[in-house]
Amino acid sequence: MKSVKFIACSAFIYALGARAQTPAAPTPEDLQKQIQALQQQMQQMMQGYQSQIKTLQEQIDALKAAQSPAAAPAPEEAAQGSVPPIPSAPPSPALQNPAISVLPDFTYSSGNDPYWKSQNAFQVREVELALSAAIDPYATANVYLSLENGHLNAEEAYAMFPGLPGGFSMKVGKFYADFGKQNAMHTHMWFQADQPLALRTMLGDEGLNDVGVSVNHLLPTPWMSDLTVEVTGGRNADVFGGARSDLAYNVAWRNFWDLTDNANLEAQLSLAGGKNATGHGTGLGNLSVTYRYKPLSSGTRASFLWRTEVIRENYRGMDGINRSTGAFSYVDWQFTRGWFAGLRADYAEHPSDPRMHDKGGALTLTFFPSEFQKFRLQYERIDYAGLGPRNALVFEYGFAIGPHGAHPF
């Protein structure tokens, strides 16, 4: 290394010497001219650099301004002293992990009700794992995995495109159909410990939940109104299940009115159709009405909700059409902070034989110590197909850890 440097230095000195010796000795005037020329060159270079720096600085400022719409306010007081910098590590890639929440639901039940008797007395009914994150600037992903009886299912897994051209929004993946309000509610959001009888009997334990595409648009009405159109694969053991190419369709027309600052009314009509396992058609209709009262200034301590849904099913089988109707109506009344009392009435005709029907009801008392856990006591009395009332006493406990945010209203 040293020898390389030595050779380079020698060559440089030799070159200088050679250059100095070549021309005749310059006159003082020549030297003066050369110095002036050099000075001019230097000045031009300096001016060039200065203007380049100025342009670059302007570009930096413009970029900074574009990043934060207005410059952050200057710190109020200039620092008077200085401290050594604290050690730092590279930012963790975990910052870009999806938001992860876990929501287990436990029940204890006793009594002679066949629905509850078919389940363990104490059970972890479900552990929901909710993951969400922006996929990129165009879409957000929501994935809800559900661990039930040792099986892990994707309860929902979809991408949401919130701002498509023309004001459309779109959902792609597996999701609950927008068929009434209750169908799309996850277990931990239910107002009672179980689904209303009409949903269980007519749509099956999983409800209308399938893989497909859902497109939504607001309607230009004076009140809030929107239309959702869904096309799915038509897989549902109870109502749909035709050939591979037989898709199912659902159209939901939702309307919402603020009656006062404290009260609102929501009405939704949903119509769904597809081919069933017999290769014939199934038509479904749902009319859902919800009234909510929640005083603005004391809404955390008092509220009231009343919801009624009527479901109609036309199932064409090998031997004609079965027309069945189901309905439920419930109220949930918050009487003090964290405490809710509820009542539900149920009615459901059997889609396989509408002459038979189940009816009953449930009483609930629910306590939320915080938004993140709940204790519920439920008494349920149902008469299945006129065979006499069956009773169940259910205790439910659930909690949520993680940032699991708000649900759709």
Partner 1 sequence: MKRTIMAALIIAGTAISATASGKLNVVSVYPDYGWLASQVGGDHVTVSVLAKGTQDPHFVDAKPSFLVALHKADLLLVNGLQLEVGFLPPLLQQCGNAKIQPGAPGYVDLSTFVKPIEVPVGGVDRSMGDIHPYGNPHYHLDPRNMAAIARGLAGVFAAADPSHAADFDKSGAAVSAQLLSLDAEVAHDLAPIKGAPVVAYHATLDYFFLHYGFNVVGFVEPKPGIKPSPVSLMELEKSIRDKGVKLLIVENYEDVKIADKVARDTGARVAVIPSYTGGAPDAQTYPALMRAIVHDLLEASRG
- Is 408 among the residues that bind partner 1 (CB under 8 A)? yes
**Segment holding 2, helix H or strand E:** helix 2-21
Do the Cβ atoms of 241 and 210 come closer than 8 Å? Answer: no
Closer to partner 1 by CB, 139 or 247: give it.
139
Query: Residue 167: helix, strand or coil by DSSP?
Result: helix
Amino acid letter, 19: R
Closer to partner 1 by CB, 122 or 257: give it.
257
| φ, ψ (nearest 5 deg) of residue 24 | -70, 160
Q: Where are the beta strands (DSSP E) in 30-148?
A: 99-111, 122-136, 139-148
Q: Where are the beta strands (DSSP E) in 149-185?
A: 151-164, 168-176
- Is 397 among the residues that bind partner 1 (CB under 8 A)? no
- The interface with partner 1 within residues 4-63 (CB under 8 A) comprises none
Report the alpha-carbon angle 308-330-205, nearest 5: 80
- Is 266 among the residues that bind partner 1 (CB under 8 A)? yes
| Sequence-ordered list of residues with C-beta below 8 angstroms from that of 327, at least 6 positions apart, any chain | 198, 308, 309, 310, 311, 346, 347, 348
Q: How far is the CB of 300 from partner 1 (least distance, A)?
A: 5
- Is 64 among the residues that bind partner 1 (CB under 8 A)? no
Instruction: Convert residues 111-140 into a mask of x (bound to partner 1 by CB under 8 A) and - (unbound).
Output: -----------------------x--xx-x
CA distances from 287 to 234, 242, 266, 325, 326 (A): 21, 25, 11, 11, 11
Report the residue from 108, 249, 253, 256 that binds partner 1 according to the rule CB under 8 A.
256
Report the residue from 34, 41, 298, 352 that binds partner 1 according to the rule CB under 8 A.
298
Pick the stretch among 120-128, 161-169, 319-327, 377-385 that binds partner 1 (CB under 8 A).
161-169
Size of the site for partner 1 (CB under 8 A): 55
Report the residue from 188, 254, 307, 374 that binds partner 1 according to the rule CB under 8 A.
254
Instruction: Convert residues 70-109 into a mask of x (bound to partner 1 by CB under 8 A) and - (unbound).
Output: xxxx-xx---------------------------------
Q: How far is the CB of 3 from partner 1 (least distance, A)?
A: 55
| Sequence-ordered list of residues with C-beta below 8 angstroms from that of 253, at least 6 positions apart, any chain | 225, 226, 227, 268, 269, 270
Q: How far is the CB of 375 from partner 1 (least distance, A)?
A: 15
Closer to partner 1 by CB, 43 or 298: give it.
298
Closer to partner 1 by CB, 162 or 389: give it.
162
Do the Cβ atoms of 262 and 255 come closer than 8 Å? Answer: no
- Is 316 among the residues that bind partner 1 (CB under 8 A)? no
- The interface with partner 1 within residues 197-216 (CB under 8 A) comprises 216
Closer to partner 1 by CB, 211 or 263: give it.
263
Pick the stretch among 4-12, 178-186, 234-242, 252-260 that binds partner 1 (CB under 8 A).
252-260
Amino acid letter, 107: T
Report the residue from 17, 114, 163, 279 that binds partner 1 according to the rule CB under 8 A.
163
CA distances from 34 to 2, 15, 17, 29 (A): 36, 20, 19, 9
Q: List the one residue out of 177, 170, 157 whose CA is nearest residue 98.
A: 157
CA dist 161 and 171 (Å) reads 6
- Which residues sit at the interface with partner 1, rule CB under 8 A? 65, 68-73, 75-76, 134, 137-138, 140, 160, 162-169, 216-218, 223-224, 226, 254, 256-258, 261, 264, 266, 292, 294, 296-301, 337-338, 370-372, 401, 403, 405-409
